[in-house]
Amino acid sequence: MAEDTTACERRQRAHNASLDRAYVQSQLGNAPTLIGTEVLRDALRETWRVMSRTTDGVAYHVDLLVDRRGVVTTNCDCPAASTGKTCWHRGQARLAHRDAVALVNEVGYRIRPKLIPTTAAQLSGKA
């Protein structure tokens, strides 16, 4: 019997694909910039600027929240995210948050990755 693809599996696959795409963009030198960090009452909030890979000079902004349990959620202001798609910008913010890709910090220093993930499972934190 063929296995049904559940919504959860589809979401996980889209999530992993966004991390893979983000990782490739990072390898190509497209590093995200941390433009704000805020400690909220019950969460840490980071705001990332991620440059479009298709349109020169266009930047999108990813809001990344880490709650008390360590659960990371993201939102992006790009057109794909507004239609419900899992965009790679959010994946890149997640990877940068984990120091898994090069990033530019709030004062303009370029930081090299501390982690070198090699598989989609590692990228998505499942390994």
Whole-number Å distance between alpha carbons of 37 and 66: 11
CB of 58 to Zn ion, least distance (A): 11
* Residue 76 backbone dihedrals phi, psi, to 5 degrees: -130, 150
Number of residues that bind Zn ion (CB under 5 A): 6
Q: Which is nearer to Zn ion, 92 or 100 (CB)?
A: 92
Pick the piece of the chain touching Zn ion (CB under 5 A) from 5-13, 67-75, 76-84, 103-111.
Answer: 76-84
Is residue 64 a contact residue for Zn ion (CB under 5 A)?
A: no
> Does residue 94 belong to the site contacting Zn ion (CB under 5 A)?
no
For Zn ion, the binding residues (CB under 5 A) are: 60, 76, 78, 81, 87, 89
